């Protein structure tokens, strides 16, 4: 069984951000030499997501506003977690909606994605260095 492990690092300028990482994951698949297998892509931090959806600016704004409705950042005091001195409880909630990870099939040495499927890093507590794990296994 072949396998490859890579970390992708991010430092978003704002608290929240959405970055298309499909090409970077595809490069890792190429480097792995795996022809058929599975590619796990997961946030290694618990206030960020990896998800698959459309690379369309309006939709990304829709996600951002909707997540803020479902789990508002303020008032900070709304959340017990923030009594520890944090202000990011909302980010832990938002990340559960968008998910921690995606598993993508690898077929004939490439990511086996539908026509509009793009892999995104969703950051909900940024402005610091954080990372995503890519783990590829197969033959």
**1 is a contact residue toward a second copy (CB under 8 A):** yes
Site for a second copy (CB under 8 A): which residue of 21, 98, 111, 121?
Answer: 98
Task: Quote the least distance from Cβ 119 to a second copy, whole Å.
Answer: 10
Q: Which two tokens stand for residue 9?
A: 């690092």
- Can you tell me the distance from the alpha carbon of 87 to that of 80, in angstroms, rounded to the nearest whole number? 10
Which residues fall within 8 angstroms of residue 97, CB to CB, at 6 or more apart? 67, 70, 71
**111 is a contact residue toward a second copy (CB under 8 A):** no
Phi–psi pair at 103, nearest 5 degrees: -115, 120
Could you tell me if 3 and 135 are in contact, meaning their C-beta atoms sit under 8 angstroms apart? yes
Q: Which two tokens stand for residue 82?
A: 């923030």
Site for a second copy (CB under 8 A): which residue of 15, 24, 40, 76?
Answer: 40
**33 is a contact residue toward a second copy (CB under 8 A):** no
Could you tell me if 111 and 2 are in contact, meaning their C-beta atoms sit under 8 angstroms apart? no
**19 is a contact residue toward a second copy (CB under 8 A):** no
Site for a second copy (CB under 8 A): which residue of 18, 63, 121, 124?
Answer: 63
DSSP 74: -
Nearer to a second copy, 19 or 52 (CB): 52
Binding residues for a second copy, rule: CB under 8 A, are: 1, 3, 5, 36-38, 40, 42-46, 51-54, 56-59, 61-63, 66, 70-71, 79-84, 89, 92-93, 95-105, 107, 112-117, 131, 133, 135, 137-139
């Amino acid at each position: 069984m072949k396998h490859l492990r890579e970390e992708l690092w991010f430092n978003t300028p704002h608290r929240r951000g959405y970055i298309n990482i499909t090409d970077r994951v595809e490069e890792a698949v190429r480097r792995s030499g795996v022809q058929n297998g599975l590619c796990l892509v997961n946030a290694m931090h618990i206030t960020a997501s990896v998800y698959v959806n459309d690379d369309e600016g309006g939709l990304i704004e829709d996600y951002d506003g909707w997540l803020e409705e479902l789990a508002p950042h303020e008032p900070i005091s709304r959340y017990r977690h923030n009594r520890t001195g944090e202000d990011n409880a909302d980010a832990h909630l938002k990340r559960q909606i968008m998910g921690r990870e995606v598993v993508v099939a690898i077929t004939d040495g490439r990511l086996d994605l539908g026509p509009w499927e793009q892999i995104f890093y969703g950051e909900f507590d940024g402005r610091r260095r954080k990372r995503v794990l890519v783990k590829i296994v197969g033959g």
